[in-house]
């Protein structure tokens, strides 16, 4: 299968994409070298896009949903009082017995802290 392969393999050369004069909405940033061209026109724009997506996905409005992940038995000992208050304030109307929720959380936190092998 690889009998036709030869060394040295042909080298791949990278070139700058051409910069158009007629492009009106988004022009490429002029660069002196190929590496600078790719950094300014591709990498920085990609990082900017990813950071915007992360900010949108993990906005402060979604924090109570993320805090609810601390109710998983393995993460329950890491549930702080501040996070617990945020969790209870957000989901109080959804609970069957909201007055007992705080005691229930403390009970489960104690069980999973003192008896780590408990199911």
Task: Tell me: pLDDT of 29 over 80.
Answer: no
Whether 37 is in a domain gets the answer: yes
Q: In the chain, how many domains are there?
A: 1
Whether 16 is in a domain gets the answer: no
Write out pLDDT tens, residues 38-73: 888 788 889 999 999 888 877 777 777 788 888 888
Q: When comparing pLDDT for 22 and 31, which is higher?
A: 31
Q: When comparing pLDDT for 17 and 81, which is higher?
A: 81
Q: What is the pLDDT of residue 2?
A: 47
Range of the domain at 71: 32-119
Mean pLDDT, range 95-105, rounded to an integer: 86
Residues in contact with 74: Cβ distance below 8 Å, sequence separation at least 6, in sequence order: 112
- Please, what's the b/e burial string for 77-108 (b: 16 or more CB within 10 A of its CB; e: otherwise)? eebeeebbebbbeebeeeeeeeeebeeebeeb
Whether 45 is in a domain gets the answer: yes
Whether 87 is in a domain gets the answer: yes
- Measured CA to CA, the distance from residue 71 to residue 18 in angstroms comes to 54
Whether 76 is in a domain gets the answer: yes
The CB density around residue 15, as the number of other CB atoms within 10 Å, is 7
């Amino acid at each position: 299968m690889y009998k036709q392969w030869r060394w040295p393999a042909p080298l791949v050369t990278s070139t700058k994409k051409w910069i158009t004069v007629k492009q009106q909405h988004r022009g490429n940033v002029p660069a002196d070298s190929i590496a600078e061209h790719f950094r300014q026109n591709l990498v920085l724009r990609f990082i900017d896009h990813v950071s915007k997506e992360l900010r949108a996905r993990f906005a402060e409005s979604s924090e109570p949903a993320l805090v609810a992940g601390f109710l998983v038995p393995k993460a329950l000992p890491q549930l702080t009082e501040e996070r617990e208050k945020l969790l209870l304030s957000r989901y109080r109307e959804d609970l069957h017995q909201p007055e007992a929720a705080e005691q229930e959380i403390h009970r489960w936190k104690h069980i999973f802290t003192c008896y780590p092998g408990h199911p």
